[in-house]
Amino acid sequence: MTPAGPGGPLPIRRLLHGPPAPPGRILYTGVWFRGHNNPRYAELLPRLERLDRFLLTLAERSPLRGVEYRAWRATRRLTDPVILGAGGRRYRSLLTADNEQIAYWPGPVVSDIDDPWLTDRDVSLLARPQVAAYVVTAERTARRYEERGVEHPWYVIPQGVSLRDVTPGLVADIARRHRRDEVVVGYMAAFLLTRTDRGGDNDMYSVEHLLELWEAIRARVPRARLWLLGDAGPGLRTRVAGRDDIVLFGRVPRSEILAYAANFDVALYARTEDRGVQAAKIADYLGAGAPIVSYDFEVVEELRGSGAALLADSPRDFVDAVARLAEDAPLRAGLAAASRSLGEARDWDALARRYAEILDAHLP
């Protein structure tokens, strides 16, 4: 979704001319996709009242989306100096979600690091003197930057959720329209791809392992049904066509995702490797108060001992955990209560207030 908020987003061309911004305003500029976007920035940026957002908006669908993005990547060494140079003449301060922008920004900057690269280039940019502070989603990311010699102040603002979207009426309406006498096992991702789909080798979007797990889960829990939220590739649609135990909901509006997840009896995090990036979907599951089953990676360390999840070390453990939750309603209720409690601390309204304090301290 395109972010809405104070002033609304502005096109990049508006940044290239015009008078200086009023004192205290902060520049944000970057690529924005119509339709699905990084949920962190879709929720956070509109809540930061000092921010002026100049967005290069790209297409919603592939292949045009991919063509436009590759064109931007190929030309950014020419366009970034122009865009950031124009921004530097109008604004004193920058909030960036792209460390490459630091190379062309002369004034103070705060960097938000949602997806840490930790390459030599990335580290050298973050270590530059104009960086006033940086924000990470988990402490371990900052510790790794410190080990590489980055000495700037850092703060943790985790992935959040918009609790205002979880209304009892919407949750009940979704249940009325879609639930049967069943155990709902749920999973969500921006894209749901098989090996025959373009991009299906990307672990972030591949559902191959999830489908393998599901066959074993379904054999153990015949009344279970798998709800999949996200843009399903043609390979997945073909594979599950005619099946009654798997439901493809397609892309769900961001404002409704938590209400769907609140209907999950068991929420799955079935990634097969630790990418080192705190998953937004874990925050969504917590905000929805859903019991979680996940592999035990460092990236989900917040779930260890939380009482909100069962963590597995192997595919067999994973299937056993789902089957156990499906058969034990009191256990599910206990995990759901712990999940909901953790989710309350992740409300974007509260996190944005903390973020604003960071900006006020370092970009006064």
Within a domain: 268: yes
Clarify whether residues 334 and 353 are in a common domain.
no
3-state secondary structure 198-246: CCCCCCCCECHHHHHHHHHHHHHCCCEEEEEEEEECHHHHHHHCCCCCE
For 247, phi then psi, to 5°, come to -120, 125
Clarify whether residues 222 and 89 are in a common domain.
no
Clarify whether residues 323 and 176 are in a common domain.
yes
pLDDT of 351 over the 50 cut: yes
pLDDT of 85 over the 90 cut: yes
pLDDT digits (tens, 9 = 90+) for 32-41: 988 767 889 9
Clarify whether residues 81 and 198 are in a common domain.
no
Which residues, other chains included, contact 187 with Cβ-Cβ below 8 Å and sequence gap of 6+?
207, 210, 226, 227, 228, 229, 267, 268, 270
Clarify whether residues 261 and 328 are in a common domain.
yes
Going by pLDDT thresholds of 50, 70 and 90, the confidence category of residue 277 is: low
- Measuring CA to CA, how many Å separate 123 from each of 133, 153, 203, 283? 13, 14, 25, 27
- Preceding amide of 253 cis, omega within 30: no
Query: By the 8 A CB rule, do 261 and 290 touch?
Result: yes
Listed in sequence order, the DSSP H helices in the chain are 39-44, 64-90, 120-126, 139-147, 168-178, 208-220, 234-240, 254-261, 280-288, 315-327, 329-344, 348-362
Clarify whether residues 144 and 203 are in a common domain.
no
| Domains held by the chain: number | 2
Q: Which position has the higher pLDDT, 189 or 38?
A: 189
Within a domain: 2: no
Within a domain: 51: yes
Least confident of 34-38, 131-135, 137-141, 208-212: 34-38
**Bridge-partner residues for 231, per DSSP?**
191
Within a domain: 296: yes
Clarify whether residues 188 and 79 are in a common domain.
no
Determine which helix (DSSP H) or strand (DSSP E) holds 51, and give its type and residue range: strand 51-58
Clarify whether residues 334 and 206 are in a common domain.
yes
Least confident of 10-14, 220-224, 345-349: 10-14
Query: By the 8 A CB rule, do 51 and 356 touch?
Result: no
Token pair for residue 311? Answer: 């963590």
**Could you tell me the CATH number of the domain that includes residue 114?**
3.40.50.2000
Clarify whether residues 113 and 200 are in a common domain.
no
Residue 230 domain boundaries:
163-344
Token pair for residue 227? Answer: 């709800």
Clarify whether residues 339 and 358 are in a common domain.
no
pLDDT of 2 over the 60 cut: no
Within a domain: 267: yes
Going by pLDDT thresholds of 50, 70 and 90, the confidence category of residue 16 is: confident
Length of the chain: 364
Clarify whether residues 198 and 152 are in a common domain.
no
Identify which of 303, 305, 304 has the alpha carbon closest to the alpha carbon of residue 286.
Answer: 303
Token pair for residue 325? Answer: 């939750």
C-alpha distance across the termini of the chain, in Å: 30
Clarify whether residues 180 and 313 are in a common domain.
yes
